[in-house]
Each structure stands twice: as C-alpha cells, then as structure tokens.
C-alpha cells in the first residue's frame, strides 16, 4: 500500500503516518511546515520507517509541487489546510481561497492515479455550525443533517465554507472519495491552541490555590482520543462501503461541558485550583456531539480510551515534552 498524506507533519497526519507505517504501508508526507513542525516525533517516524516513510517539504500552492512525487498511490489523505481560529478571524479570504485551491490541486493529482482506492478529504465538524445557529441541528448529529450557512460576512464562516465547498468538489471529482468530519480529536503533539492542551498548560503553570479561568464553560462537547480517531479514519477509508460518504470521526459520549472538562484537567494536573467561568468565545458552537454509528460500522472500531485516560496520556506527553522541557509544539 502506498499512501500520500498532505499536511502529514501535523497532529492527525503524524499519528496516521505512524499507524500506516506500522502496518507496512509506504507513506509520503507532504508539508510546507507553515504550521507543522519537523520534531523528534516526525524524525523518528522517518527513521523507524526504514525507507517506507518519506518526508517531502513542498507548498501545494507552488506550481508543479505534487508533480515531484513519483509512482502511484493507493490512498491520498488530504489534511493540509489553513486552520485555527486566529487565522480564520485575521485572514478569512486567505482561508477560503487557499483551502479551496489546495483541494483542487490534490484532486487533480488524485485523478492521475491509476490504482487509487480512495481520496480522503479532511472536512470539519464546523460544517454543522450554521444548522446549530438555526436551531434545527439534531443532537447527536448524524451526517445526514442538512447544512445551513451562517452569515457569509462573518470571518469564521470562511473556514467552514471552504470545507463544505471542498466536500462538494470531492463528490463531483469522479474519483472514489471518503469525507471525514473530525469532532474534537485530541492527544499528544496537537499544539497548544486546542482547549485540552491550552487548559493543561494553564493549570500546570498556575499557582496552587489560584483561579483557573474557563472560557465558554457551559458549552458542551465530546472528545475523541487520537488512538481511537486513527482507526476510525483508516477503517472508513479502507471500507468498500465508505466510497462517496461523509463520516463523523469522534465519539458520542460522554458529552461534557468545558467546565467539566476543566475539572478533569485540574484533577489530572493535581493542583488545588478554583475554576471560574470566563467569557464565551465568539463564534464557538454551544454544543457539538456527533452521531458516530456510521463510522463505527464502516471501521469496525469503537472508541476505547476514556476521557480521564486520554487527558492523563496527553498531560504526560506535554509535561515531559513541552511544559517541563521548555520545548514548543506549534502544530
């Protein structure tokens, strides 16, 4: 099996590469390192792969960037995108135009692959944000829920719109596609902009007995640990019944408030801290809980890592690699 992963130096891409390489696949990682980092984790993947894992630094927007790759691929995972709330709010036009253009380049390459079994497009749970605002979103949310657009002049709409448009491009491309809509996937090496590592960092740095401010404390989420997310993604992508469908990647339970998540994190860090509700993050969905029955069936996998265990594993990695070591994690 030969696999290409765009944006493969990122959080999900790195763990996906590890899984594929362990199972004997040849993996080409393409990344421009605008967000991902060539850290010890990635270097070990390349070294342990003994020639099966290849890292190619390239910008998908550069003319001919993908033409440098030789041979044919059985699977292409398109994970590359401009993401992150700070980018979406500051550069909405770039987010929209760049994400669509990168998807176009990857689809063009996919069409040239004689043995392609699947193009896997990483969409987002944000596609449901407009339906939630309209008050018509079923919870837990199935993939069949109608997608409603929020106001187009809101900067945050640019990201979800680039992904909805990307889904439509994939469906119309003529190649076998599976669309993934990740829901709060977390774990080691995911950077510091996600709520889990962000709260872990704040709790670790806080003085005992001090207050820990929690933004959007009453918003509700479910969280899926990365070691569960990868087999869900691979299983759906490699299933014959996964062609032409969109799947939620995540877990349906437990659904917790961000305040309850913060309490789990404080208990894991082991400091007596007072939780104080902060302001609501603008544009943050008040609730996000996927129906995962489809991805469970296609993959044959059920999530196994509890929230408590996932937070503990994530904290152990960040404490050793980032917090105590003075390292960075810019993914």
Residues β-bridged to residue 250: none
Give the strand pairing for 256-257 and 220-221: antiparallel
Residues β-bridged to residue 245: 178
As assigned by CATH, the class of the 2-186+226-250+289-305 domain is alpha beta
Domain positions in the chain are 2-186+226-250+289-305
pLDDT level of residue 330 (50, 70, 90 thresholds)? low
For the stretch 213-241, pLDDT in tens is 999 999 999 999 999 999 999 999 999 99
Residues β-bridged to residue 4: 28, 76
The beta strand positions in the chain, using DSSP E, are 2-6, 26-31, 53-57, 75-78, 118-122, 177-182, 185-186, 211-214, 220-221, 224-225, 245-249, 256-257, 274-277, 287-288
Q: How far apart are CA 74 and CA 81, in angstroms?
A: 22
Residue 241 Cα distances to 114, 188, 271, angstroms: 20, 31, 48
For the stretch 52-97, pLDDT in tens is 999 999 999 998 899 889 889 999 999 999 988 777 888 999 999 9
């Amino acid at each position: 099996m030969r696999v290409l992963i765009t944006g493969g130096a990122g959080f999900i891409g790195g763990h996906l590469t590890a899984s594929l390489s362990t199972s004997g696949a040849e993996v080409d990682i393409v990344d421009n390192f605008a967000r991902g980092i060539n850290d010890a984790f990635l270097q070990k993947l390349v070294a342990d792969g003994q020639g099966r894992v290849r890292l190619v630094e390239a910008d998908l927007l550069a003319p001919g960037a993908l033409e440098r790759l030789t041979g044919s691929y059985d699977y292409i995972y398109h994970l590359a995108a401009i993401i992150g709330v700070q980018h979406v709010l500051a550069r909405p036009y770039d987010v929209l135009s760049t994400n669509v253009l990168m998807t176009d380049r990857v689809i063009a390459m996919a069409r040239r692959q004689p043995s392609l079994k699947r193009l896997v497009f990483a969409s987002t749970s944000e596609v449901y944000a407009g339906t939630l605002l309209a008050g018509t979103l079923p919870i837990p949310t199935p993939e069949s829920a109608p997608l409603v657009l929020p106001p187009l002049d809101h900067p945050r709409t640019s990201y979800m719109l680039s992904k909805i448009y990307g889904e439509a491009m994939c469906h119309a491309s003529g190649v076998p596609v599976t669309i993934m809509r990740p829901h709060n996937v977390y774990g080691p090496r995911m950077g510091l902009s996600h709520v889990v590592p962000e709260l872990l960092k704040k709790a670790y740095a806080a003085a005992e007995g001090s207050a820990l401010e929690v933004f959007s404390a009453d918003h509700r989420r479910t969280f899926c640990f990365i070691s569960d997310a990868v087999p869900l993604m691979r299983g759906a992508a490699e299933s014959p019944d996964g062609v032409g469908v969109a799947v939620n990647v995540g877990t349906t339970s437990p659904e917790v408030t961000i305040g309850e998540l913060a309490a789990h994190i404080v208990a894991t860090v082991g400091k007596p801290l007072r939780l104080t509700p902060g302001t609501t993050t603008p544009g943050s969905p008040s609730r996000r809980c996927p129906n995962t029955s489809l991805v469970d069936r296609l993959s044959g996998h059920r999530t196994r890592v509890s929230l408590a265990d996932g937070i503990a594993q994530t904290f152990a990695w960040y404490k050793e690699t980032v917090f105590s070591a003075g390292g960075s994690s810019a993914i």
